[in-house]
Amino acid sequence: MLRIRNGKVYDPAHNVNGEVRDVCIADGKIVADVDASARTIDATGMIVFPGGVDVHTHIGGAALNFARGLIPEQHRKATPIFHSPERRAGIIGTTPTTFATGYVYAGMGWTTANEAAVPVLSAKHTHEELHDTPIIDKTCCVLMANNELVLDLLENDEHERAKEVVAWYVWAAKAYGIKAVNPGGVAGWKWGKDCKGLSDVVPGYKKVTPSKIVAALAQIADDLKLPHPVHLHCNNLGAPGNASTTIETMKVLEGRRAHLAHLQYHAYGGDDWFTMRSAAVEIAEHFNANPNLTCDAGAVLFGNTVTVTADGPWQHLLYQLTGRKWGNLDVENETGCGVVPYVYKEKNVVNAVQWAVGLELLLLITDPWRICLTTDHPNGATFWRYPEIVQLLMSFEFRKEQLKQFPDSTLSRMVLPELTREYTLGEIATITSAGPARTLGLTQKGHLGVGADADIAIYNESTDVAKMFAHPRYVLKGGEVIVEEGELRKSGLGRQFAVKPQYDESIEDYLRPLFQQHYTMSFENYPVSCERVHGLEVQPCNYCGTPHR
Amino acid sequence: MTTSVMPEPAKRELTVVKNAVCTFCGCVCDDIELHADHERIVETKRACNLGEAWFKNHTAEHLYPDALIDGKEATVDDAIEAAADYLHAAHMPLVYGLSNTTCEAQREAVWLAELVGGVIDSHTSL
Amino acid sequence: MSCTLGEVKNRADFIIYWGGNPAECHPRHFTRYTLTPKGKFIPRGRKDRTMVLVDIRETMSAKAADIFLQVRPGKDFEMLSILRALVKGQRVSPEGVAETGLKLEQLQDLVNRMKAAKFGVLFFGMGLSMTRGKHMNSAAALTLAAELNAFTKFVAMPMRGHGNVTGADVIMRYTTSFPFGIHMGRGYPRFNPGEYSTIDLLVRGDNDATLVLGADPGATMPKPAIEHLKRTPTIVLDPKVTHTSRLSRVHITTAATGITAPGTVYRMDEIPLPLSPPLKSPYPTDEEVMRRIREAVQRKEPWYPVKSDAPQMV
């Protein structure tokens, strides 16, 4: 039992906005009250947030691990974590090791993360990495929009069966949601091609188009009552002028739920790299008008990183642009992935526009419940740089300082200089915790109401926002004090949330022969068994069509 | 999947494992059907000659001592303590191999190398 | 530029094996993954694929090949470099070509075929990665495949042997960032192949104890390395009493992976597979023994300074 006394509490889900009050904890949950014998943390002069929830990150699995292997020279310069009785050794850097990932997230006050791109074929590998990612709770989304068994069904308009197959795959992977990456484009990449327009027919098919795939998967997520809508990485990522594709995608969804991942990468105007400019205004306008949608920023910060995505064709383009290393890994029937180390430079106009667009979307999208703070870790920047973004969002003056480094020719491509909005602490709590938890449909996360998981971050209130959010004074996970006096004191294993959507078992009779034809693994060895997922908790599929709020 | 069948009245009951995984080479074929009595594998359907030799080369018999310390038979408990003593006392111990073993053991190997402040390395470096 | 083996099965119409003898070392590679199976986009199986073997001698695998190219021993890097130049349409010197033991027409034909392929794959074996040039050869093979992607779809992949060495690679990468040759002596992972590689350590005599798991270096390593294993305390975990066990201070018999021990192993394309052992071992598993050794070490005084009030890991 524990009482956090006299903190300034921010709990947007309950409209608590900086009130000084106590938060009580028993058995890992928030409770109404505890008796006098409970341990007390004096939070006078501190602010109390629900633990951070990352709606879109790449923290484990084949693709990220491939990236780790590609950049030994970066690890050498990265911050190490020393082995001690309470923690395992590791390296932070752009692709932190699994143990480092857990410690660093928790050390910042973030207690839940959604691994956003998992091929079913290597889901066992992802779960093993997530098992070794301590402290934080995890969910993951499986890649479905280029799965050839699903595309074949959509080609023949067999939607009902496609739904069953998707449901089977989700449970086979012990996943939490459905991810769609460059729908149709990655399947095309298997032939070295792409799918840029929403009505382009996917290479190798006669009828299937990206828009068909998007609409079908969004519908399937709704029909299966998944707590999290289809997690959508739109077509045409990173390309100048791609805002039109993104807006068209919003129209294709026709009011169905969807979460648009790393929206920054899909909000560019212009015709080519020389004329590329921000289209954040248009994107935000359409987004604001579509209450069925949520998104995450996918913001970019300047510096060294490595880009990892299932979007193979984009990565090949990036390799051609940079001439640096390139890794590609195609996964049979399901997806692909590309890895390219990358440096975002202030002096590069395209990078400067990308940096601005991420912030612009965060400032132009009016409802903080519908946009989550992310960097598409490690693509836009590593997750441990989130506090830098918070600082930019909270201070117009600070942004003005930053903008001074750009010449007028660069500034004319963005709207950021005109945006005076400053985030409040309550809004920060919304985009870092309450909003993403609600978007994920994790009802026990992102708030401090009775019954919620006692995942709490306590910060020394300070005007230096970046420092404050990087170094919480206390962090609690499931009621356990993990960080105390700013030091990581304890490390436990986190849980993994999955869903078991309803499907007819007979779908296996349909899948088994197809497996023998198309896969190189036995059907029986393919699903991840429950025993292999440490701390597995099956969440209900009970989305009932109520709007986001 | 494990099922028991009685092939012929005269023979002993055999355990049949379908979709078994062969770990001999990097192909890691997972479509092998193994038939085993209590002690040894008697049939390896779909395995190649290397796989068959591998499966039949190991049995459930107690052919070797549980442990040896300085060449003399010892208990596993004592051998584990002796191993821990040597590794702990060393300034720069090496954990090597990691080929013919499971990922679960490999995870432990990394942890052990960390604890003793040593080197960990696999066949790959050869 | 890699892929899972199913991609090869379903799509590859052009397959190169370089410096490997799958017919004898990976017997089912041809039949299960690459050459003979019918794939989703390869309806006629073997008939729809062309296979080229590059090796220094005509092995059993050459029988299965459509084209066999015999490269002069130690000239793989030169041949790869010439191919890379030809792919880009650059001029190559006749002396350079002559050194490889092959004719320019043969190399040009290979390049034409690689470019004309719809989906090409290059498997490289230890004949490439473990001979003169070593990792430079692997890098050249990977670069060749990467550069071919300007023309068509092309991937490259090592032919890994040795059971679950791929799993070791995967696990070390996610726990330490590095695939092998990792030194934890400063409390965090450092990577320096050549300095922290087993052979180098043993030959120089740098390490002062060795735990051997799932390997038998006593049977394969050079004499000075074996001498060092003998001289210093060596601990072996193995299902049998091996050459290395005989020169070690401690041997512990363990259950055999996949036969009597359950767990996970990785295929050469990094796909994990669950083991279902048919037999019950009278011996403990590697996992159990390793865990118990680790726990025994944890009970001892750490080698690094620790604050006395520091809590214990849960």
User: How many whole angstroms separate alpha carbon C210 and alpha carbon C136?
Assistant: 29
In a domain, C305, yes or no: no
Q: How far apart are CA C83 and CA C86, in angstroms?
A: 5
Residue B2 clears pLDDT 60, i.e. is over it: no
Residues C17 and C148 in one domain: yes
Q: Which of A89, A132, A522 sits opposite B114 (nearest CB)?
A: A89
Q: Whole-number mean pLDDT of chain B?
A: 90
Q: Is residue A314 very low, low, confident or very high in pLDDT (cuts 50, 70, 90)?
A: confident
The residues near A73 (Cβ < 8 Å, ≥ 6 apart) are none
Contact indicator for C94, C78 with CB cutoff of 8 Å = no
User: Does one domain contain both C208 and C228?
Assistant: yes
In a domain, C307, yes or no: no
Given a cut of 70, is residue C209 above it in pLDDT?
yes
The verdict on residue C136 lying in a domain is yes
Same domain, C61 and C84: yes
Same domain, C173 and C96: no
Q: Which of B18, B19, B114 has its CB closest to that of A83?
A: B114
Percent of chain A with pLDDT over 90: 82
pLDDT at B3: 55
* A91 or C314: which leads in pLDDT: A91
Our CA-based measurement puts residue A287 at a distance from the nearest CA of chain C, in whole angstroms, of 36
Instruction: Please give, one letter per residue, the 3-state secondary structure of A328-343.
Output: EEEECCCECCEEEEEE
* pLDDT exceeds cutoff 90 at A311: no
The mean pLDDT value for A200-223 works out to: 94
C169 and C154 share one domain: no
Q: Tell me which residue in B19, B31, B103 faces A128 most closely, judged by beta carbons.
A: B103
A62 to chain C: nearest residue by CA? C270
C238 & C200 share domain: yes
pLDDT for the residue B100: 92
User: What tens digit of pLDDT does each residue of A472-504 get?
Assistant: 999 999 999 999 988 888 888 899 999 999 999
In a domain, C90, yes or no: yes
Q: Which among C140, C158, C176 is the end of a domain? A: C158
Is A18 part of any domain? Answer: no
C154 with C188, same domain?
no
Residue C265 forms part of a structural domain: yes
Which residue type sits at C308? S
Question: How many angstroms separate the CA atoms of A236 and A184, rounded?
Answer: 11
Spatial neighbors of A65 by CB under 8 A, at least 6 apart, are: A125, A129, C170, C173, C174
Cross-strand bridge partners of residue C252: B67, C237
Average pLDDT over residues A172-190: 91
What's the whole-number average pLDDT of chain A?
93
On whether any CB of chain C is under 8 Å from the CB of A130, the answer is no
Q: Is residue C304 part of a domain?
A: no
* Neighboring chain C residues of A520 at a CB cutoff of 8 Å: 4-6, 9, 32-33
For chain B, the chains sharing at least 3 beta-carbon pairs closer than 8 angstroms are A, C
Residues C182 and C67 in one domain: no
Q: Is residue A548 part of a domain?
A: no
pLDDT digits (tens, 9 = 90+) for A87-107: 999 999 999 999 999 999 999
Please name the residue that has the structure tokens 């400032």.
A363
**Which residue range(s) make up the domain with C57?**
5-158
Q: So what's the pLDDT on residue A337? A: 74
> Which residues make beta-bridge pairs with A238?
none
Phi, psi of A305 (to 5 degrees): -155, -170
CATH code of residue C9? 3.40.228.10
Average pLDDT over residues C106-133: 90
- Distance (Å) from the alpha carbon of C94 to chain B's nearest alpha carbon: 35
- How close does chain B come to A523, measured CA to CA in Å? 9
What ipTM was predicted for this assembly? 0.93
Number of domains in chain A: 1
Quick check: A349 pLDDT over 90? yes
Whether residue C154 sits in one domain with residue C9: yes
DSSP annotation of C149: T
Helix (H) / strand (E) element for A392: namely: helix A386-394
A139 is a domain residue = yes
Query: What confidence tens digit (pLDDT) does each residue in A351-390 have?
Result: 999 999 999 999 999 999 999 999 999 999 999 999 999 9
Partner-chain contact C268 B23, CB within 8 Å: no
C219 and C247 housed in the same domain: yes
Residues C217, C268 within the same domain: yes
Let me know if residue A36 belongs to a domain.
no
Q: State mean pLDDT over C267-280.
A: 92
Q: How far apart are CA A135 and CA A120, in angstroms?
A: 24
User: Are C4 and A95 a contacting pair at CB < 8 A?
Assistant: no
Q: Any long-range contacts for A250-254 (C-beta under 8 Å, 24+ apart)?
A: A250/A286, A250/A287, A250/A290, A250/A293, A252/A198, A252/A211, A252/A214, A252/A215, A253/A214, A253/A215, A253/A218, A253/A290, A253/A292, A253/A293, A254/A215
Q: Report the CATH number that the domain containing residue C188 is assigned in CATH.
A: 3.40.50.740
CB atoms C251 and B21 under 8 Å: no
Q: Do C179 and A69 touch (CB under 8 A)?
A: yes
Cα–Cα distance list, B106 to A85, B111, C109, C288 (Å): 20, 9, 45, 11
The residue segments making up the domain with residue A280 are: 48-496
- What tokens were used for A170? 């989700």
Q: CB-CB: which of A68, A84, A148 is closest to C174?
A: A68
Contact C214 B98 (CB under 8 A): yes
Residue A40 lies in a domain: no
Angle at CA A94, nearest 5°, toward A91 and A100?
35
Kindly state whether residues C73 and C194 are assigned to the same domain.
no
Task: Tell whether C242 is covered by a domain.
Answer: yes
Tens digit of pLDDT for each residue in A105-139? 999 999 999 999 999 999 999 999 999 999 999 99
- What is the per-residue pLDDT across A242-274, written as a single tens digit (0 to 9) for each? 999 999 999 999 989 999 999 999 999 999 999
Q: Is the pLDDT of residue B10 over 80?
A: no
Beta strands in C132-171 (DSSP E): 153-158
pLDDT at residue A178 is higher than 70: yes
Please report, in angstroms and rounded to a whole number, the separation of the first and last CA atoms in chain C: 41
Give the per-residue pLDDT at B41.
95
**Domain assignment of residue A353, yes or no:** yes
What is the pLDDT at residue B4?
A: 53
pLDDT for the residue A325? 72
Q: What is the token pair recorded at C265? A: 């192993």
Nearest by CB: A520 against C1, C32, C274: C32
**Measured distance CA(C50)–CA(B54) in Å, rounded:** 32
Query: With contacts defined as CB-CB under 8 Å, which chain A residues touch C188?
Result: 80-83, 89-91
Instruction: Indicate whether A300 belongs to any domain.
Output: yes
Q: Is the pLDDT of residue B45 over 90?
A: yes
Residues 233-252 of A with CB under 8 A from C: none
**Subunit contact B21:A521, Cβ cutoff 8 A:** no
Residue C295 has pLDDT above 70, yes or no: yes
Confidence of residue C313 (pLDDT cuts 50, 70, 90): very low
Q: Rounded to whole angstroms, how far apart are CA atoms B102 and C164?
A: 7
CB of A69 within 8 Å of a chain B CB? The answer is: no
Q: Which residue of A has its CA nearest to B27?
A: A520
How many structural domains does chain C have?
A: 2
Query: A408 touching B, CB under 8 A?
Result: no
Query: Residue C118 — φ and ψ, nearest 5°?
Result: -80, -40
Alpha-helical regions (H) of B1-125: 49-57, 76-89, 103-116
Whether A517 is covered by a domain: the verdict is no
Sign of the Cα pseudo-torsion (A309, A365, A176, A211, in order): negative
Does residue C303 sit within a domain? no
The neighbour count for residue B46, using CB atoms within 10 Å, is 16
Q: Which of C11, C115, C174, C301 to mutate to test the interface with A (most CBs of A within 10 A)?
A: C174
Mean pLDDT of A318-332: 74
Nearest chain B alpha carbon to C229: B94
- Checking if the pLDDT of A547 tops 50, the result is no
Average pLDDT, integer, range A313-336:
75
Give the integer Cα–Cα distance in Å for C254 and C215: 13
